[in-house]
Amino acid sequence: MAAPDEAPPHPARRRDQLDKLCLFDDHWSPRIAPELNDSYVKLLKVKGELLWHRHPEEDEMFLVLRGRLTIRMRDGEDVHLAERGIFVVPRGTEHMPVANEEAQVLLVEKKTTVSTWDVEVEGTGPNPWV
Amino acid sequence: MAAPDEAPPHPARRRDQLDKLCLFDDHWSPRIAPELNDSYVKLLKVKGELLWHRHPEEDEMFLVLRGRLTIRMRDGEDVHLAERGIFVVPRGTEHMPVANEEAQVLLVEKKTTVSTWDVEVEGTGPNPWV
């Protein structure tokens, strides 16, 4: 389920979005900031492992803002990203992000991309705007 | 004119793309690395001023990987981005990127987005893959 395609109730989305990482602390809970054509730019804090999952129809971009992130690939080598590291998980590719220590990550996903945790937990809503 | 929608002739596009910034030095000449759904992720080195321009139909994302970037907005305040700074120029918004010192920038643009320099210089081809 994609997030609602409305602007957040403040003009901050038109400024530097990085500051918004200070506004939340929970892990594996992406915040939308901002929209980008038919995609959302999402800010995410991660620690530990997520789950093996894939997005059958959509590529997903990861960019590490702080810390380090490993993206395990079921059918290939792990991808190790340091700060500023960039990787696009091709559509249909089973993957699992892992961070031993907290990392701050930027995602770019299509608005139609269903996050793993939406699949795992029935009734989970869309990612909120930050 | 959009870049050709083909993979580059090497598998590196599936690894960390950041290393590719070492492969070129020219300014204001984006390299595609990699594709992302109907968009391209582009790596760019900038120094000095570009030109006032707009993309009538498409939002454009800037993320500063190294250095500092100012995005002048014809109808609003300048946006000053430090390292990791993120900003999306809304479609139709006249803007001009400026960097006093060399900066390294990541762009996410739709494949259909026409770069300013393509407009300025007739016959200029699409951005190459790096």
A18–B58 CB contact, under 8 Å: no
User: Both tokens of residue B43?
Assistant: 């790596």
What is the average pLDDT across A84-105? 94
Look at residue A58 and tell me if it is in a domain: yes
What pTM did the predictor assign? 0.84
pLDDT score of B7: 53
Look at residue B90 and tell me if it is in a domain: yes
Q: pLDDT confidence of A5, banded at 50, 70, 90?
A: low
Chain A nearest CA to B128, separation (Å): 18
Look at residue A122 and tell me if it is in a domain: no
pLDDT score of B109: 93
**Does residue B108 belong to the interface with chain A, where contact is any CB pair within 8 Å?**
yes
**Does residue B23 belong to the interface with chain A, where contact is any CB pair within 8 Å?**
no
Look at residue A125 and tell me if it is in a domain: no
Q: Count up the domains in chain B and report the number.
A: 1
Chain A residue with CA closest to B84: the answer is: A65
pLDDT score of A122: 45
d(C-alpha A87, C-alpha B15), whole Å: 6
Chain A residue with CA closest to B104: the answer is: A84
pLDDT at B37 over 90: yes
Q: CATH number, domain at A87? A: 2.60.120.10
> Per residue in B53-82, is it b (16+ CB within 10 Å) or e — as a string?
bbbeebbbbbbbbbbebbbbbeeeeebebe
pLDDT score of A127: 80
> Which among B16, B41, B63 has CB closest to A85?
B16
Look at residue A72 and tell me if it is in a domain: yes
**Does residue B2 belong to the interface with chain A, where contact is any CB pair within 8 Å?**
no
What is the average pLDDT across B41-69? 93
The residue ranking higher by pLDDT, A114 or B57, is B57
Look at residue B44 and tell me if it is in a domain: yes
The least confident of A67-71, B5-9, B80-84 is B5-9
Chain B nearest CA to A92, separation (Å): 12
Instruction: Say if the ipTM goes beyond 0.85.
Output: no
Q: Which residue has the tokens 């892990």?
A: A27
Domain extent for B34:
16-110
Q: What is the pLDDT of residues A21-52, one digit of tens each?
A: 888 899 998 998 889 999 999 999 999 998 89
Look at residue B79 and tell me if it is in a domain: yes
Look at residue B89 and tell me if it is in a domain: yes
pLDDT score of B9: 43
d(C-alpha A24, C-alpha B64), whole Å: 22
Per DSSP, what are the bridge partners of residue B125? none
Nearest in space to B44 (alpha carbons), one of B63, B72, B16, B58: B63
When computed from its CA atoms, the radius of gyration of chain A, rounded to whole angstroms, is 14
d(C-alpha A46, C-alpha A100), whole Å: 9
